[in-house]
Structure 1
Amino acid sequence: MSGPVHSMKIGGQGMSSPYPIVSQSEVAIVPVIDISGLRKTARERSLVVKEIGNACGRMGFFQVVNHRIGKAVMEGALEAASAFFELPEQEKRKYESGNLREPVRYGTGLKDGEEVTRNRRFFIKHYAHPLEEWITCWPANPPNYREKMGEFSTQAREVGLELLEAITESLGLGPTYLTRRMSGSMQVIAVNFYPRPHTPSPGSTVGLPAHSDYSCLTIVLPNSPGLEILDPEDSSWKLVPVVEGALQVHVGDHLEVLSNGIYKSVVHRGIINVDETRISIASLQSLAMEEKMEPAEELIDEDHPKGYVGSSYMDFLEFLYGNELGQGWSFVDALKIK
């Protein structure tokens, strides 16, 4: 059904890695779950649901295969992303904005006049559900961007809904507990581009600082290694291996809230790849813009009191206006009832 990826060192002594060196971190032991069993017999489904629940409970992260997004769709999205970031800077800056509520927003972690900074990435983010409402706001250049990214966005959302059904089932809430509220939900596509540094520095160079996602669930398609997760068991950074054909799945803050802390959102960061540029495409799924996520009443009792206040995607944006990502501020920590 699934297989762990065993720990090894890269960038130092020990087993060599087939991937470019991006970090001195140990490689994470991450479940790789075959989710085709969710669509088979009741027994097979229950086994996969248990696997997913165990992964959410341990580190809030896993990878999935047999998710029904074809290789051509994934490659098409990555190629469209690469083509966008190869455009002249003037073309990309058409979408630049400091307004976090803009449905399409381009930005960079680079500071003006600095060629190399600790936080180094470029990104474009855009709303993606319902697709027909937002796709005309997306970049029209390169010409196939909307088509290729739209195909991936639609299919990634379907994978997310299937996983959310399994996750709420694993909590004993039933498969439709959350998905019945998702028809008007938010989906944000965040496309991150980490250029190869001109002057590589030893060890890890952070492109995206440590954070957890506000979402219920985040599904990520990477083109190369560079994602590190914070292992809750020993508080160390672990490099996530790239598994061919797999998607990476993050538990987000709102799922931690829903589960009343049974599942934890995963703290992660993006690392610069010293040998090549790196691209990741993230599909973040949450409830509607102003709909608040609360802990499930079924998971609250005398021994497990309510641990979080309710919050919405809009609340998260307000939080960002006053707190800089990666500077020690955490959205989910701000929601915890002390």
Structure 2
Amino acid sequence: MASYDQQFKVLEVPPIVQEPPSQYVLPEQDRPAEMPEPIPIIDLSRLSAGSAEELDKLRSALEILAVGHVHGMEPSFLAQAMKVTREFFNLPLEEKHKYSNIVDGEKLGMDGYGNDMVVKENQVLDWNDRLNLLVEVEPESLRTYRLWPTQPPSFRDILSEYTVRCKAAANLVFRNMAKILNLQEEEHLVNMIGDNSITQAIFNYYPQCPKPDHVLGLKAHTDGSIITVNFADAHAEGLQLLKNGVWYNVPIVPNALVMNIGDIMEILSNGFFKSLVHRVVTNAEKERLSLVLVYSLDLETELEPVSEMVDDKRPARYMKIKLNDYMEKYHDTYATGTLAIEGVKI
């Protein structure tokens, strides 16, 4: 099994966003130009009941969708998840640094509290602080529980419960994606994920930014995932998607989860589903919080299009690559603002 405790050599330890250096400032041509556009909203209770209308809505949402009426995701529970997220980021800095992702003073681990990897000169940084935690992986000993916050006291229990409930919603979407792809086995994608898959929780804090037209909370990128599930604070928009060269706002859907397609799903579907290019903009007046679950596969997986998606009329559009190797490329390209998915297209 590949190692999940990867570390990355960096040129310098990145500063926290409360101490903004010039490295956060975007080149003028990359600054936000907001344009609103709605996204499909899928009722998971109806999808679970076999609604053809909801399946059609899912079919039309090849990049991003919002899901509501998720079993076990009552507004009160979602409020608790956001509450512990806010309480963690409101802790004194010295308390948060107990969970730092910095290893030996010069490397960044995959888990822990911190910011961007600084891997090149003049790298533009994201205006956010993050807490990354591996929440699903086997064996369980691979989870770095020493980096799971003990403050607030309910943090660990809420995160564990949230992870279980999100997985049920994700599996329902995977089963219906298999239907859309006309795969023989409805459980094909669910089974691919299986016991050896990995799920990472990413808690994001975007503080108020004095120059929101100059700085991004999260640079333009695709996710190196099967799908990504995003639950955002309802008080501030910020997520944007790129479509036909134009950036569009993703509106806040109260008490709903936003799911988007990642690189792994684009490759598995042989390009039928498209990995979403997206970013997060900053706000001069409001802070923003989000809780993200990133679903992936065992790092030893040989990543390639599902055999049922390849034939004489539809040849493979992506080269075969071990997922561990792909993720190394992904982390390199994220830091430089390029897309790893472009490098594996045939």
Could you state the TM-score of these two structures normalised by the residue count of structure 2?
0.80
Other-structure match for 2:22: none
Contact 2:217 2:281 (8 Å CA) reproduced: yes
3-state SS of 2:284 partner: coil
Q: In structure 2, give the amino acid aligned to 1:91.
A: E
* CA-based RMSD: 2.5
- Larger mean CA deviation between 134-143 and 101-110 belongs to 101-110
Contact 1:219 1:283 (8 Å CA) reproduced: yes
3-state SS of 1:26 partner: coil
Other-structure match for 1:53: 59
Q: In structure 2, give the amino acid aligned to 1:54.
A: S
Contact 1:110 1:119 (8 Å CA) reproduced: no
Other-structure match for 2:204: 192
Work out whether 1:182 is the aligned partner of 2:164. no
Is the alpha carbon distance of 1:47 and 1:126 closer, same or farther for their aligned partners in structure 2, counting shifts above 3 Å? same
Other-structure match for 1:75: 79
* CA deviation profile, 1:178-236 (whole Å, cap 9, x unmatched): 10122221111111100012x234x36311100000100101000031000001xx310
Displacement of 1:130? 4.8
Q: Give the alignment of 1:263-282 within 5 angstroms.
A: 263-282=273-292
Work out whether 1:230 is the aligned partner of 2:267. no
Other-structure match for 1:12: none
* CA deviation profile, 1:116-151 (whole Å, cap 9, x unmatched): x86210001111115965373411222111012222
Work out whether 1:127 is the aligned partner of 2:134. yes
* CA deviation profile, 1:310-334 (whole Å, cap 9, x unmatched): 345422432245x242534212112
Other-structure match for 1:330: 339
Distance 1:98 1:336 in 2: 34
Contact 1:101 1:317 (8 Å CA) reproduced: no
Of 94, 97, 108, 2:101 maps to 97
3-state SS of 1:289 partner: coil
- Larger mean CA deviation between 260-269 and 204-213 belongs to 204-213
Could you state the TM-score of these two structures normalised by the residue count of structure 1?
0.81
Is the alpha carbon distance of 1:268 and 1:204 closer, same or farther for their aligned partners in structure 2, counting shifts above 3 Å? farther
3-state SS of 2:286 partner: coil
Work out whether 1:259 is the aligned partner of 2:280. no
Displacement of 1:92? 1.7
Identity within the alignment, %: 26
Instruction: Show structure 2 runs of 5+ residues with no match.
Output: 1-31, 119-123
Of 106, 116, 123, 2:113 maps to 106
3-state SS of 1:304 partner: coil
* CA deviation profile, 1:75-134 (whole Å, cap 9, x unmatched): 1111111111112222222332357894622212499xxxxx862100011111159653
Contact 1:157 1:283 (8 Å CA) reproduced: no
Contact 1:294 1:310 (8 Å CA) reproduced: yes
Distance 2:231 2:241 in 1: 15
Distance 1:163 1:87 in 2: 36
Distance 1:222 1:255 in 2: 23
Contact 1:287 1:312 (8 Å CA) reproduced: no
Of 141, 164, 183, 1:154 maps to 164
Contact 1:109 1:120 (8 Å CA) reproduced: no
Q: Give the alignment of 1:209-228 within 5 angstroms.
A: 209-223=219-233, 224-228=236-240
Of 248, 258, 265, 1:248 maps to 258
Distance 1:309 1:178 in 2: 19
